[in-house]
Structures are given as C-alpha cells and as structure tokens.
Structure 1
Amino acid sequence: MPLAVRMVVLVAFTAVGAAAATAGLAAWMPPWPAALLAAAGCGLLAGLVVRRTFVPLRGLIRALTGTVASYRDGDFSFGISWDRYGDLVELVNAHNQLGQALREQRLSLVQRELLLDTMVQNTPVAMLLLDPGRRVVLGNLAARRMFGNGRQLEGRALDELLGEAPAAVGEAFARGGDGMFTVGDEDHEEIYHLARRMFRLNGRPHELVLLRQMTAELRRQEVQTWKKVIRVISHELNNSLAPIASLAHSGAELLRRGQLGKLPLALATIEERTRHLEGFLRDYARFAKLPAPRDEPVSLARFIDKLRTQVPFAIEGVVPDEVLRFDPAQMEQAMLNLLKNAHESGSPPEGVSVAVRRIADGWRIDVLDRGGGMNEAVLSNALLPFYSTKRSGTGLGLALAREIAEAHGGRIALLNRKDGGLCVSMVLPGQA
C-alpha cells in the first residue's frame, strides 16, 4: 500500500475509533472526560502505528544518503533492497537503476582509459606531458628510454632531463616551436621531429611534447630521391652520349673515306649535344650548390625592365617604384625559370605577363600565362626537385625558383587561372 494511502486510512480509523470510544465511555462518565480519554487512547495507538511505519523509512533515507555519498566518492558498488510502500519502491528502483548506469559508464571509462594508456605507452613517439612548472606529469615508455634510461619521469623537471640529454635536444627545445634536429655523429645519426602543443587541463595550462624519430622514414625518402636523380641523369646522359658516340664513329668513317663534305654537320651535331649535356650538368650543379643569397638594394622597376630585355612578357598594372633587398642574380635566375616555363606551357607569347603588387606580409610577383594549366596531381608535385612532365625536362626550374624564394624568406605558390592558364606567385618579405 502506498504511504500516502496508509496515512489517510490511519487518520480515518483514528477518527472513527475516537468517536466510537467516546460514545461507549459516555455511558459511564460525563461527555467531555469521555471524549478526552477516547482521544488519548486512540492517539497513543495511532502514534504507535506511525512509529512502526516511519522507523523503516528512516532507515531507507539513511541508506539513500549513504549511497549518494558513495557515488560522490566514485564508489558505485552499492544497491538498496526495498519492498514496502509502492511509491517508495519506485524511488528505490530508480536509485538502483542510476547506480547501475553509473557502474556501466565507469566500467566503459576505465576500459577506454586502459586502451588509451596502452596506446600512449606503446607508441614509438616519445610523449611528455608538462605542468605549468615544466615538470613531467606523464612520460610514456619511449620517453623513458630517451630521457631516463627506462626509469620513470613523472615529477622530474624538464630542464633536468634536458641537462642529461644530448646537446642537440636542448638546442631544439631552446629554439621553441616545432622543428627537426639530429643526434649523434655521421656514423650513428638519428633524426627527430619535435612538436609542442599547449592546452588547458583541469583549468591549468599544460604542454604536450612529442618527439618522433624520423631517421628510417627520411632514409627511405633519401634513397627514393637518389634513385630518381640517378634515373634522370642516366636518361639524359644516354640521350646525349649515344648520338655523340654514333656521330663520332660516322665522322671517323667519313674521314677515312675522304667524304669531308658531311663532316662539319656531324661535328656540329656533336657540339650541340655536348653543349646540351654541359648545360644539363650545370643546372644540376647550380641547384645542388646554391649559395646563401647576397642581399643588396634593388629597384623593382629596374629589375623587371632588365628581365624584359632577356625574355618577352607583358606587365599588368604598374610596377611600384620601390627598393627591396635581395640577391639580384639569384632572383633573376628564378624569374627567368618561371618565365621560361610560362612560354613553354603552350601559351601564346602575348599571354605571358608579370604583375607586381604589395600585400600584407611583403611583395607578390605573379607570373601569368594562358597555357593548359596543371591538374591536381601535377600541382601537388610541380615544386619537387626532378619532377617534370616534359619529355626533355630536368624538373629543376620550379624547384630552383622555390629554393631561391625560400632562401630569401619567401615562398612560391601555383594556382590555375579561372579562364585557363597558370599563375605562379612568388612572395617576398617586405623589407624596404
């Protein structure tokens, strides 16, 4: 029976019992004393019933209070059994269902934490979590091997760990931000990538440090690059040496037969192929031995005018009469490479143009053409060394221009134009 119904029935029975007792006692005593005596008797009986009802209820309230305190402390192993008063049975069942849901969530959370900890501890990337005082909160197994000889790192100061690590590690941290550094000598060289990220944990700033060993990956990339270089050089050498050898043999035969009329043509062809080979090797040497830029004041307008004397192109807008600091020889080589590519793109000569304008972080020089443009695959690889879609291309023109731009603190970007053609943008820092 629900508790509210039980209380209503108790009050009704008490009132009816008091009235009946008053009527019975009125036959032996005056009405008022009979009424008081009946009320006292029925009230005492009702109090005993109420006490008997609420003593278990007090126990239930204490049990609910205790389980709530256990939930607050993270202990979800408690449950309550109750089979009295239908409305309170519903409350207890809901409380037990809450405990079951919290237990399942806690178990799922523990399993996820275990999975995450297993992944963090066994990843080959060394991970350090630092608190605001630059002390280690968490260090995985890779970090222990790198900094602590397998010992735990929690609680130790980062400066202490860096003091025990190779000097290159401390220098990489001192530079700040992300970057790559090398540990060891030439015979036992290890290359690492350092990444640092800031975030807030429990309202406090923390830093996550990731140290990834890149030696094997870079070695594979280096081998692939060398293979590609060897293939390109071998192909170009064969294309030149094979006709040179054939023409030399033919020239010897012509000389032996006394047919000297065709000999100049053979010698001229040999000279042409030799000069082509010389230029090819010179381009590779220039790319491999690009010196540091020697900056000097250069007028933009005069620089563009000088380029127009070597290769034709139109000028969009007006070239600002500004003076920048860069290496004019290197920048001229980069621009000539870009203009040469624009003319070789299939664009009409009048479709090749140059635009110069000021931007927020420097100056932007655009080389524009109306050729066939580039698809996505070519755009993503065009700036890589030795990548070329031309049959006789070396893949060094754009790569050399990119190398020169980055040596000056700038960058190069490629973008297909809306109405056809390509836009190659060289951005230079704005030091005037």
Structure 2
Amino acid sequence: MASRPHEIIPEPAPEPLPEPVRYRARLRLSSRSRLALCCLLFSALGLAALAQFYTLNLQYSAAVIAAGVGLWLLLSWAIAPLRREILALNLHAQNLQDGSFNTSANQLQVTELKPLANSLTSMSAQLRAERASLYQRELLLDTVLQSSPTAFILTNHTDTVLMANPAACQLLHQGKKFNGSKLFSLSNLNPQLHQAMAAKQQGLIRFDSSVQSVWHLSVSQFQLNQQQHWLYLLKPLTREIQREELNAWKKLLRVIGHELNNTLAPLSSLAFSGKQIAERQQQADLSQLFDTISERCLHLNQFVQAYINFAKLPPPQITKINWPRLINQLQDQFEFELLGDLPRRDWLADPQQLAQLMLNLLKNAHESGSAPGHISLRCIELANELQLKISDGGGGIAQQLLDQVLVPFYSSKPQGSGIGLTLCRDIAEAHAGSISLRNSTVVAGSPAVSGLEVTVHLPAATDKETIPTSDRH
C-alpha cells in the first residue's frame, strides 16, 4: 500500500496588531456652562439671521443679546430646583458611603427624582437599623465573652494573640492582658496546656491547681480576611466533674448502705438472742462474745448511717438567716472567737444545713490540735458573695494533700470517716456556692501560728433559681 504524502498544514497568518486606542479629550462642562453655551449659540444665530435678512444695527443686536441673556436667566431659574435636588442626592449618597445613615435626601418640587430620594431614604433607614442591630449583637457578644468562665484565645497564622477574654488572661497570664504577644512564648503557660495547644489536641486537660484543675480544650480553624486563624476554647469542668463524682459516690453509698443494713439487722438480733441464751446457761465467756458482736454491729450501723445521711442530703430550704441565733448555736457546741461584725445584709440559705456545715468545720478545727483561742470565725460581705472564714492553729495540711481532703472517704485522721469536708462542700454547692482551703500563718489574737483557713463562699442571690438542678433531687 502506498504511503500517503504528508499533508502540509499552512501556518496561520499572524493576527494584525491592534491599533492603539486613541482617546479623545472630551470637554466636560457643567450644566450651567452648557446652558450658557446654548444661550450664546442662540444669540449668535439670532445675530447671524439679523445680519442676513435685516440691517444689523446696535439696537437690534442689543435686543438679541438681551434675549439670550434673559433666556439664560430663565432657564437657570427653571433648572435651579433640579440642581439643588441632584446636589442633595449626591450629598446623601456620599454620607451613605461614609457610613452616616442619619441624613435624608431633600425632596423638592422635582417629581421625577422623588422615587430616587425615597429609595435613598429607605436605604438609610434600613442601614441604620441594621447597624444598630449589629452594634447590639456586638455588645452582647462582647458582654458574653467578658463574663464567660470559658477562656477564649484567638490567634492568627503566626500564633499572635488577637483577642483574649478576662478568663483567658486569668488562666494564662495572671490576669494581665497579652494581646499582641506570641501565644507559645508566654512564660506562665502551663507545660501540659502548651503541649496540647501546640499539637492542636482537643480533650480534657488536668492542671495542678486547687481551684480549677480540669479543663476541656477545643480548637477551631477558620479563614478570616484570607488568612488562617485559630480559636482556642478552654472550658472549666472541675465543678461538673466533682458533682458527677459526688453523685456517683452517693449512689454507691445508698446501695452499700442498703445491703449492710439488711445484714446488720439479723446479726444484731442473733447476737441479742445468743447473749440471753448464754446468760441462762451461765456461760460468761460466750455472753461477752455476743456483747462484742452487738457492740461492733451498733458501731458499724452508726458508721453506715452517717454515710447514708450524707448520701440523702435533702434540697436546701431557703430562708433568711438569723445570724445571732446561728452564732449562739455554734458557740454552744464549740469554742471559737468571732472576729469582726456579723453580716448586716439579708442572706438567704438553709439554716439547718448552714449550721451543720459550720459545726463540721469547727469540729475539724478543734480536732486539728489547735488551741481553742486560735480558732476564729470571720464574716466578710462582698458585693456578690458572703465569705465565712474559719481559721485554726493546728499546723495546717500538707500542700500536696489540699486537693484530696474534699474527696469522699479521704481523711487524714486515723479514725476519720472522710465525709465531713465532703458534706460541707456538698452543702455549699447545693447553695450555688463553693468551699476553699489554704494554709495560713497568721491567727488573730495570737503570735504567728501556722494553721488551716477554710472559706465558705455563698453567692448574694442564693434563691431557688440559683441552685443547680442536679442538687435539688
């Protein structure tokens, strides 16, 4: 088969170069100038017609020129409202461009421009309302960010902090603002938090802190102004986790208490019957054995009842506290010194539960080995809370144990049950408050003595709406 000759494809002809665009200078005249030019042209045509058909003299020429000037004045007067309206509309449009939405377009006698003026006025009102709504939303968002216990940190692609709310400043920089700083160059940044934030690892983080030790880190990435940004959210979960742990302990205590009571009741009955039989048979050793069993059953029953009472703490019955009566009840049980004045404002709480809380704290203070003269109570009224401080001179608690004394069943006493301070914390949280402990070195009325200071924080509005729902059941 003969091979086909190669086809020769002609090259496309080069496209002609575009001719350079020539811009003609255009004379831009204002409306008044164009009107004057038209009147001048009219006068020139009138003079030309006069010279062509009539005799050109001074009187006729002056009349034609006067007619042109009069026409110019008449037309200027006629279009003056239009010019003023257009000027007002231009000014209104410039105000809208500059962000001033409080002006309106002047509506004169030019009917054709009224729809445009109405549209601009309606646009101004709509933009004004939207700006007011946006401002209110920004104000609400800023209020939420400033008052939220969740720490917010916003950084750009270079890890420069653009925004940090007060909770973040308190957590990461001892309450000082650090906007504009590099996030990972902060000297007070916790090593565990530094590692989690650098790795963008979301989840629970535990700090070595006695106030808020458990936090949840959430990291989000988004684009803003065509740049990458990171939003870090740190939510405190210590109170929630402690409450859930406490509820779990209470459920366990109720189950264990029920089973122990079902066992102790027949044991006590059998021990009592055995003792009577041993006494009739005059077997002293056997009778003493049954006495020991009965005593231990009684002691174990009291021990179980204490835990059951803790697990069945009823919701607080809120009422106004009678402070003189409460202090007298406390002083009838334990000796302590009242420092300062009693609260002057009306504070709402459950009197019985608050008295139980204070009795437990005073009992612990006396059992710490402190001299009675070193035990004191001070009431401090703040704008948003009441602080009840109980101090002793019993030497305090080791710093590493301060976080554990509020855990159920933990006790530093050989014969302690581990529910005293836990019950105090439960009562305080049932009133939407809290309890904190710290070692102190100064006790009023005595030389410098080391001891423990326990502070009960009760909020100002301890009504039923402020009590956590989980603590009412």
Q: TM-score when scaled to structure 2?
A: 0.42
